[in-house]
Structure 1
């Protein structure tokens, strides 16, 4: 598509306005005083007439619309062809007026953060000019009659593949979907895979990630033997290919972390008004299937860039301040994010794209959907709506890295007998709301060209649409 077609919808919403949903209204109200007193550029965007928007109120973002329109003008000046125009727009973003505004603000503004102090930032114009999104081969694995494709270890994508490798040796269908055996098996495999995530994952341009060994069938068989009848309370990374696990001293010592306001993944925050990551899946009649999980620019976590109408990502909070760790902070390095869309292809030709917001829960909720669909034949919508759960057994990817050994949070509508059985096995079960564990959506394409879609009713945020 031409760039004007792509940006046209966003410009329309920014100029003509959109109806403020209740969660956005609550989020802005919670940080309104911070915006007024400290983050005045955010106040300009999110406090029309000096007050938080009301739920249902129509709101515009003229600064963002102007940014996009200027990008289109720069693109048009770059040449007549689509490729030339896209290249010119990228240059304007990374080395032109957008980069100049970002670099100037980061260098000059002293911003109050969660430490209670004011700091200037470190991001420079050279940083922005020197980076382009790379085209990379996916990390892939087999499960039953499917091939699954994920992002590399600069994100948590391979942990999905590791879980599938472990689960391949269990008969989930015989366990019965949603049973205590089903949930226990998936949870215990997740604990092992996520422990490896903590010990080995990082930007492969900077660290040697033993990815082949992590996905090796023999390694999975070795790790699978650790799954027992009782819930494990340990964080147990393995030694894939003889590699030694690297965990920060605070994790090895089991030091407890205290939650800090303004940090973490809003989707799974205790206060559900804090915001959300986004996920979108698309399938078209030409056979294209896309899964995307863009996220990070939370309006309550970083001030808006003056004149641009948007804020910067705060994903750098996911680095460890430990140079020995694979995800240790370094210049030019990508933080090991939680963003993890999924593509899957059946041997018969069916295609799936699916994913969810949710930080560390993304590859738990997505896994539950995929296993329900593949192992028991549940339809996508039925699998999405099944009672959900997630664990926080391993350190959070977000500062301050809280860990709750053995903790599993389940939806209140989970069968009482299943709940009791999980507790008997030693799981520290917390019961949440009836519809709180998931934000999933999925699309599929059959070999005959039939398209299908499903969306999560939780939080009334997901939609499935076709034409």
Structure 2
């Protein structure tokens, strides 16, 4: 029995990981905007109401299908590492890895530029219009989510003693907010308002206003504040020491969001679009290529056969991610081979009845894989907040097995426009709030490594390989569905489960969103401390005991997560009759879809 209906409408649908964001997106459609305007407004609202999961200095990949061109574009909002970011620069500070918190892991903030690029190329509204809902919530208040309040509570000593600007932003009278308490962020409201005013002062049409907003962010008052703070103010980070950062205003001024063609795969009559190997997007396509050789529809949904097959294919695809993915502008990623039917067939032969406990990357074109080091569990001495900083995921470590990060926004309108994005980074646990701006920097640099010659080794101007990975699907050549989820490394497992549930098992979209979820942690985490759990399968409470026992008999190390805790899939799309639809996961009790 579904906990929520699958929503349908004639005008448009918006799904997001926060109900206020979904409502803001729908408001843009009411003002004459399209799906792209809706997504931009919703995204800016998530930066206010989900500060523990993303912010203006974060990152985002965006997939956009524009009905005017009948083309899918990828807008890359993953900013590169600073020009001063070399392996030697980190090694010289005695570091074996890039810290997951503090200033050293900051990349050029990519999210703002990517949203402005989407607005310019595909939207109809102005920066002031799409920023208005976010300004309103930052000024007038919003109910703080329980996990955000919990995180602020744990980090409160750090905010009082070290990251004092974060204390000014998130604490009231030195105390953390209670879950659900009305919360404001006046400095962030001021930043957004100044960006809107700068755009309006430029006069002219929409494009000129958007360019002015970008200039204010990347070359104006935002860049100036970031440059002064990062390079001149050493701050405590996960190492337990104070470090200044490497990011400068010049790094920001020389960057703008780019547009590229997506990677594409076919699966049972569906054309699946993903971002390139600077993300983990290809891993979704690699899993589909492997699964093409199995007939999942002949297995029972949720059975041991189903879970075993999917998990073993995931291990192979993610092992290739570890060995081969990186910024294709800086390294030769053999993506054509990795996505080929021949390569998939050879890899598929490795799937056996018993679970593999090894990390087995392939050798595309005869190349020898280079693997980054795998860490054990992080053990830090000192106060609890310092231990928390040692884990780069924006979750309170050990309070839940379902670590979460990231947000999701998806929108579809009656014209056939469709967009999905998974904004993330710049969360309140990542880095100190920049004085005068109301938001912290991101720490996506932690996903690069210090292994010379590895495709994902850190280098000046190079994008770290991110986990962010939305999905856009066409069916019979027409836009069909756009979806994503929070979840770091698990994103392309939880969304794959959703997609397979819909395509192979025939579930409706909302039914597929609510289906029991599972994943493996057998591949090293992209976040510090890069821990792996060989053979692991994580299932939600309620998975039948017979399934758990059979998985264990096959050699899997099964862990039970709380019921309905894995993922928050959000999806919108357009049916063959022209009606739009929206679905959002009940997990976490915050994601919502709206249709009109």
Determine if the TM-score, normalized by the shorter chain, exceeds 0.5: yes
- Report deviation, 1:242: 2.0
Q: Secondary structure at the match of 2:593?
A: coil
Write the deviation string for residues 256-308 of structure 1: whole angstroms up to 9, x where unpaired.
34265222323695334987411111111111111100101110120001000
- Report deviation, 1:453: 1.2
Query: Which residue does 1:431 correspond to in 2?
Result: 560
Query: Which residue does 1:334 correspond to in 2?
Result: 463
- Report deviation, 1:40: 0.9
Does the 8 Å CA contact 2:156/2:176 hold for their aligned counterparts? yes
Query: Which residue does 1:462 correspond to in 2?
Result: 591
In structure 2, distance between residues paired with 1:197 and 1:269: 25
Does the 8 Å CA contact 2:277/2:333 hold for their aligned counterparts? yes
Query: Which residue does 2:383 correspond to in 1?
Result: none
Alignment of 1:16 onto 2:140: yes
Query: Which residue does 2:268 correspond to in 1?
Result: 144
Write the deviation string for residues 238-263 of structure 1: whole angstroms up to 9, x where unpaired.
11122221212x34xxx634265222
Query: Which residue does 2:227 correspond to in 1?
Result: 103
CA RMSD of aligned residues (A): 1.5
Query: Which residue does 2:398 correspond to in 1?
Result: 270
In structure 1, distance between residues paired with 2:396 and 2:578: 36
Match of residue 388, structure 2, among 254, 258, 261: 261
Query: Which residue does 1:374 correspond to in 2?
Result: 503
Q: Secondary structure at the match of 2:427?
A: coil
Q: Secondary structure at the match of 2:189?
A: helix
In structure 1, distance between residues paired with 2:396 and 2:347: 29
Query: Which residue does 2:26 correspond to in 1?
Result: none
Structure 1 length-normalised TM: 0.96
Q: Secondary structure at the match of 1:114?
A: coil
Compared with structure 1, are the counterparts of its residues 413 and 144 closer, same or farther at alpha carbon in structure 2 (3 Å cutoff)?
same
**Where do 1:279-290 residues align within 5 Å?**
279-290=408-419
Extract unaligned runs of 5+ from structure 2: 1-124, 380-386
In structure 2, distance between residues paired with 1:275 and 1:17: 24
Extract unaligned runs of 5+ from structure 1: none
**Where do 1:32-181 residues align within 5 Å?**
32-181=156-305
- Report deviation, 1:199: 0.3
- Report deviation, 1:353: 0.6
Does the 8 Å CA contact 1:179/1:418 hold for their aligned counterparts? yes
In structure 2, distance between residues paired with 1:208 and 1:112: 36
Structure 2 length-normalised TM: 0.76
- Report deviation, 1:348: 6.3
In structure 1, distance between residues paired with 2:154 and 2:534: 31
- Higher mean displacement: 88-97 or 275-284: 275-284
Q: Secondary structure at the match of 1:149?
A: strand
Query: Which residue does 2:423 correspond to in 1?
Result: 294
In structure 1, distance between residues paired with 2:367 and 2:417: 38
- Higher mean displacement: 15-24 or 137-146: 15-24
Query: Which residue does 2:573 correspond to in 1?
Result: 444
Does the 8 Å CA contact 2:128/2:199 hold for their aligned counterparts? no
In structure 1, distance between residues paired with 2:238 and 2:435: 21
- Report deviation, 1:77: 2.4
- Report deviation, 1:63: 0.5
In structure 1, distance between residues paired with 2:358 and 2:403: 31
- Report deviation, 1:56: 2.3
Match of residue 386, structure 1, among 509, 515, 525: 515
Alignment length (residue pairs): 463
In structure 2, distance between residues paired with 1:267 and 1:56: 18
Does the 8 Å CA contact 2:394/2:429 hold for their aligned counterparts? no
Write the deviation string for residues 9-39 of structure 1: whole angstroms up to 9, x where unpaired.
0000011111122222111111111011011
**Where do 1:166-315 residues align within 5 Å?**
166-248=290-372, 250-251=373-374, 256-258=376-378, 261-262=388-389, 263-266=391-394, 269-272=397-400, 276-315=405-444
Does the 8 Å CA contact 1:265/1:358 hold for their aligned counterparts? no
- Report deviation, 1:368: 0.3
- Report deviation, 1:110: 1.2
In structure 1, distance between residues paired with 2:577 and 2:204: 37
- Report deviation, 1:422: 0.7
Query: Which residue does 2:540 correspond to in 1?
Result: 411
Q: Secondary structure at the match of 1:90?
A: helix
- Higher mean displacement: 145-154 or 14-23: 14-23
In structure 1, distance between residues paired with 2:457 and 2:591: 35
- Higher mean displacement: 386-395 or 335-344: 386-395
- Higher mean displacement: 446-455 or 216-225: 446-455
Write the deviation string for residues 396-437 of structure 1: whole angstroms up to 9, x where unpaired.
111111011101111111111111111111101111211212
In structure 2, distance between residues paired with 1:211 and 1:195: 14
In structure 2, distance between residues paired with 1:298 and 1:343: 26
In structure 2, distance between residues paired with 1:361 and 1:425: 22
In structure 2, distance between residues paired with 1:219 and 1:267: 37
- Higher mean displacement: 362-371 or 70-79: 70-79
In structure 2, distance between residues paired with 1:51 and 1:275: 24
In structure 1, distance between residues paired with 2:395 and 2:506: 28
- Report deviation, 1:346: 1.0
